[in-house]
């Protein structure tokens, strides 16, 4: 899952190094527009709905956090 998400996001945002930090939001690497793009990519690609409770720094700070969130939401919706 992590690899797939990394591949998808790197394709969308070639200028962002998603592996450079484990605090992508806290370090200011991801702004709100990029986060929106990530939400759009993940919801369209995996067919999930991301509830507002999940839009927290912890889930968006790293690829591992995103993968964990997507897996959790897939199992919930599946």
Cβ burial 44-57 (10 Å sphere, 16+ → b, else e) = eebebebeeebeee
Residues 37-56 that bind other proteins (CB under 8 A): 37, 39-41, 43-44, 49-53, 55-56
The CA distance from 66 to 61, in Å, is 8
Rule CB under 8 A: which of 1-30 touch other proteins?
Answer: none
Q: 43 vs 71, which CB is nearer to other proteins?
A: 43
Per CB under 8 A, residues contacting other proteins are: 31-33, 36-37, 39-41, 43-44, 49-53, 55-56
């Amino acid at each position: 899952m992590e690899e797939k998400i990394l591949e998808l996001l790197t394709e969308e945002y070639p200028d962002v190094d998603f592996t450079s930090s484990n605090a992508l939001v806290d370090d200011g690497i991801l702004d709100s527009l990029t986060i929106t793009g990530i939400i759009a990519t993940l919801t369209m690609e995996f067919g999930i709905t991301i509830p507002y409770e999940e839009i927290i720094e912890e889930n968006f700070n790293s690829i591992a956090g995103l993968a964990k969130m997507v897996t959790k939401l897939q199992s919930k919706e599946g």
